[in-house]
């Protein structure tokens, strides 16, 4: 495993923000700079010292449960302005982020609930702007969905309590749904894990929030929505850390819950010398394990991977391959998202006891009830569904309880992650080709000029947003409403 030679440089970082001073003194010279110690007793002082050491992998904190009762997860999530730094120890670049955080923490706390729990979240809006929280991937009652279609946002200084039951195990996440592209980009997102006591046991479970950052965060978020081959902004982080190093023990079995929280960047994941072992996606565990060379993780997507490191197996790796939103594989080398060091000398854990069932996709034989056609152009920055820009849209209605097949088509020259609130969907076919097994999703990438066939059951009353999860596209109008009525 490659370990970077660690050049340890400790510099004093003044509490005075220095807009031109991304690189601290001494960063470009071989000489160790003079170390100054800065007292951290002023309110605006952050990170008194920077070390150019590869950071150790760390998970987001777990939100404290304010309720002693089993069956209730009661937490507080206060969004507020927060200044933090993204430190690229490889290039010695510091990206100062005039960001937002929940509970003063970037990354935000992970909400860990058990299936069947009631989740209660007290929000006190300490931002200068209205906000909401949306529970991405969870079917919650409409008034708890955090949208502003027929609902008010939480105004600055106001409070709101979200409350809903979590019925389906899986890897979900939360983020605002007001000025969404900008608020998510500033760091407002966290993981919501719904654990199932019947899930196959693992030795360790890790949450990985993946986000990307522009070198200059002062550029308005909407102004450069497609930047680079991935639509990514430049520097990817894992839980706010650039390429951290994770120590694992040979013989242990690790479940990783990955969430692409970037407001527009795609990840095309690879596993280095070994394929990726995919055990879950958006809506929980897959019927059977899938072993893949690459896994596309579009904004909003989740994937659960299984790692079984051992001396008889290739060391686990997580890398990002160049991917173009204008047609897939692109030129270039994979970039490591983290480094893994395997300690010990046991053989790899086996996956033979992982429960697997055969569940083929539902046959794609029903005529679609309606079609969403995604249109638009990066040149004009004009994004629409069926020729309409949100909020000037036609609401598509479904009767409670009905099951329909619908189509999502892409007539634009860029890919879009299609996301539906409140309901979940089975992917029946992609350009006429069925997936290898049953596939239950809330976010599904719509490839270039592709047509998706999706099947949903209208089992949750409400006016559900359906939109592109490249958030500047969604905010720009690529959003519509699918309403379930009595
Ligand atoms: Cu993750 Cu409508 O959003
Ligand atoms: Cu889009």
DSSP string, 71-117: TEEEEEE-EEEEEEEEEETTTTEEEEEEEEEETTBSSPPBEEEETT-
**Among the bound ligands, the one closest to the CA of 443:** 1
Q: Please state which of the ranges 3-17, 30-44, 133-147, 314-328 shows the lowest mean pLDDT.
A: 3-17
- Residue 441 half-sphere exposure, CB side, CA atoms within 13 Å? 27
The answer to whether the bond into 94 is cis (omega within 30° of 0) is no
What is the DSSP-derived secondary structure letter of residue 435? -
Answer yes or no: is the C-beta of 302 below 6 A from any ligand 1 atom: no
Q: Which protein residue's CA is at the shortest distance from atom 1 of ligand 1?
A: 136
Ligand 1 within 6 A of CB of 186 = no
CA 10 to chain centre: 32
Is the CB of residue 419 below 6 angstroms from any atom belonging to ligand 1?
yes
Band of residue 298 on the pLDDT scale cut at 50, 70, 90: very high
Task: For the beta carbon of residue 206, count every other beta carbon within 10 angstroms.
Answer: 19
For 331-372, how does the pLDDT look when each residue is reduced to its tens digit (9 = 90+)? Answer: 888 999 999 999 999 999 988 889 999 999 999 999 999 999
Strands 254-260 and 284-292 turn out to be unpaired
The Cα–Cα gap between 181 and 467 comes to 13
Under 8 Å CB-to-CB from 291, ≥6 apart: which residues?
Answer: 275, 276, 277, 278
**Four-residue CA torsion sign, 261, 266, 267, 268:** positive
The CA–CA distances, whole Å, from 296 to 11, 260, 278, 319, 321 equal 39, 10, 12, 12, 9
Q: Measured from the CB, is residue 214 less than 6 Å from ligand 1?
A: no
**Model confidence, pTM:** 0.88
Task: Please give the distance, rounded to the nearest whole angstrom, from the Cα atom of residue 54 to the centre of ligand 2.
Answer: 34
Could you say which ligand is closest to the alpha carbon of residue 478? 2
If you count DSSP H runs as helices and E runs as strands, how many of each does the chain have, helices first?
Answer: 2, 35
Cα separation, 207 vs 239, whole angstroms: 8
Three-state SS for 416?
strand
Confidence of residue 46 (pLDDT cuts 50, 70, 90): low
What pLDDT digit, counting tens, does each position of 130-176 carry? 999 999 999 999 999 999 999 999 999 999 999 999 999 999 999 99
- In angstroms, the first-to-last Cα distance of the chain is 58
> CA 197, 201, 206: angle at the middle one, nearest 5?
95
**Is residue 400 helix, strand or coil?**
coil
Instruction: Tell me the ligand closest to 445's alpha carbon.
Output: 2
Q: Which ligand is nearest to the CA of 468?
A: 2
Q: Which atom of ligand 1 is nearest to the CA of 421?
A: 2
At 27, the pLDDT band (50, 70, 90 cuts) reads: very low
Quick check: CB of 467 below 6 Å from ligand 1?
yes
Work out the average pLDDT over 446-460.
97
On the question of pLDDT at 21 being above 70, the answer is no
- Token pair belonging to 76: 């507080």
Query: 459 C-alpha vs ligand 2 centroid, how far in Å?
Result: 27
Ligand 2 centroid from CA 395, angstroms: 19
Query: How far is it, in rounded angstroms, from Cα 90 to Cα 298?
Result: 25
CB of 473 shorter than 6 A to ligand 1: no
Judge contact between 458 and 483, C-beta under 8 A.
no
Residue 450 CB coordination number (10 Å):
15
The residue contributing the CA closest to ligand 1 atom 3 is 136
Q: Where does the pLDDT of residue 48 fall: very low under 50, low under 70, confident under 90, or very high at 90 and above? A: low
Edge-to-edge strand order for the sheet containing 416-420? 396-399, 479-485, 462-468, 416-420, 443-446
Query: Which atom of ligand 1 is found nearest the CA of 177?
Result: 2
Residue 258 Cα to chain centre, angstroms? 7
Atom number, ligand 1, closest to the C-alpha of residue 479: 2
State the maximum Cα–Cα separation within the chain, in Å, rounded to a whole number: 72
Identify the weakest region by mean pLDDT among 52-66, 158-172, 224-238: 224-238
Over residues 435-453, mean pLDDT: 97
The answer, yes or no, to whether any atom of ligand 1 lies below 6 A from the CB of 134, is yes
- Any idea what the Cα angle at residue 111 is, between residues 248 and 288, rounded to 5°? 60
Yes or no: say if 474 and 376 are a contact pair by the CB < 8 Å rule: no
- As residues whose CB is below 5 A from the ion ligand 2, the structure lists 416, 468, 470, 473
pLDDT in tens, 372-414: 999 998 778 889 999 999 999 999 999 999 999 999 999 998 9
Query: What residues form DSSP beta bridges with 485?
Result: 399
Of residues 8 and 238, which shows the higher confidence score? 238
d(CA 465, CA 11): 48
Q: Which ligand 1 atom lies nearest to the CA of residue 175?
A: 1
User: What is the Å distance from ligand 1's center to 204 Cα?
Assistant: 29
Under DSSP, is residue 171 helix (H, G, I), strand (E, B) or coil? strand
Q: Which ligand is nearest to the CA of 300?
A: 1
Write down the mean pLDDT value for the chain.
Answer: 88
pLDDT recorded at residue 214: 81
The candidate with the shortest Cα–Cα distance to 255, out of 218, 206, 319, is 206
What average pLDDT does range 19-28 have in this prediction?
37
Distance CA 432, CA 398 (A): 24
Distance CA 472, CA 476 (A): 6
User: In the prediction, which pLDDT does 351 show?
Assistant: 85
In this prediction, what percent of the chain has a pLDDT beyond 70? Answer: 86
Q: Which residue has 């490591």 as its token pair? A: 336
Q: Which residues contact 469 (CB under 8 A, 6 or more apart)?
A: 298, 299, 300, 416, 417, 418, 419, 443
Strands lying side by side in the sheet with 134-136:
111-114, 190-195, 170-175, 134-136
**Mean local confidence (pLDDT), 63-78:** 94
Q: Is the pLDDT of residue 23 over 50?
A: no
Q: How far apart are CA 208 and CA 190, in angstroms?
A: 10
The residues, any chain, with a CB within 8 Å of residue 343's CB and separated by 6 or more, are 247, 248, 249, 250
Query: Binning pLDDT at 50, 70 and 90, where does residue 217 land?
Result: low
Contact 103, 76 (CB under 8 A): yes
């Amino acid at each position: 495993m490659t370990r970077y030679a660690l050049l340890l440089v400790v510099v004093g970082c003044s509490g005075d923000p220095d807009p031109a001073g991304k690189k601290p003194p001494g960063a470009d010279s071989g000489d160790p700079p003079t170390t100054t110690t800065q007292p951290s007793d002023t309110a605006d002082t952050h990170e008194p010292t920077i070390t150019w050491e590869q950071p150790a992998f760390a998970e987001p904190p777990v939100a404290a449960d304010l309720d002693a009762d089993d069956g209730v997860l009661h937490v507080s999530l206060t969004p507020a302005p927060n200044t933090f730094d993204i430190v690229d120890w490889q290039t010695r670049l510091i990206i100062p982020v005039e960001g937002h955080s929940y509970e003063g923490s970037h990354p935000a706390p992970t909400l860990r609930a058990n299936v069947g729990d009631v989740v209660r979240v007290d929000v006190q809006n300490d931002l200068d702007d209205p906000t909401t929280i949306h529970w991405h991937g969870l079917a919650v009652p409409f008034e708890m969905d955090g949208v502003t279609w027929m609902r008010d946002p939480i105004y600055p200084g106001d409070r709101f309590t979200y409350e809903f039951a979590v019925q389906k195990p899986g890897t979900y996440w939360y983020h605002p749904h007001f000025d969404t592209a900008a608020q998510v980009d500033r760091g407002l997102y966290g993981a919501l894990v719904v654990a199932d006591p019947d899930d196959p046991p693992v030795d360790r479970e890790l949450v990985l929030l993946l986000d990307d950052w522009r070198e200059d965060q002062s550029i308005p978020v909407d102004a450069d929505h497609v930047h680079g081959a991935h639509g990514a902004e430049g520097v990817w982080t894992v839980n706010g850390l650039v390429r951290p190093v994770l120590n694992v023990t040979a013989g242990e079995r690790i479940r990783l819950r990955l969430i692409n929280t970037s407001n527009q960047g795609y990840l095309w994941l690879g596993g280095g010398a070994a394929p990726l072992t995919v055990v879950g996606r958006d809506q929980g565990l897959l019927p059977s394990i899938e072993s893949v060379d690459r896994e596309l993780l579009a904004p909003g997507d989740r994937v659960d991977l299984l790692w079984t490191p051992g001396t008889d197996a290739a060391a686990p790796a997580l890398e990002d391959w160049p991917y173009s939103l204008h047609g897939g594989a692109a030129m270039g080398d994979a970039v490591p998202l983290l480094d893994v060091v395997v300690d010990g000398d046991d053989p790899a854990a086996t996956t033979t006891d992982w429960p697997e069932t055969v569940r083929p996709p539902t046959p794609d034989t029903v005529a679609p009830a309606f079609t969403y056609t995604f249109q638009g152009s990066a040149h004009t920055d004009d994004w629409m569904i069926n020729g309409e820009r949100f909020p000037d849209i036609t609401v598509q209605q479904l009767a409670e309880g009905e099951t329909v097949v619908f189509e999502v088509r892409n007539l634009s020259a860029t890919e879009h992650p299609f996301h539906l609130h409140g309901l979940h969907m089975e992917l029946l076919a992609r350009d006429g080709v069925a997936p290898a097994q049953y596939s239950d999703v809330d976010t599904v990438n719509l490839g270039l000029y592709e047509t998706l066939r999706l099947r949903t059951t209208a089992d949750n009353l409400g006016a559900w947003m359906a939109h592109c999860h490249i958030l500047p596209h969604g905010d720009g109008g690529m959003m519509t409403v699918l309403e379930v009525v009595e």
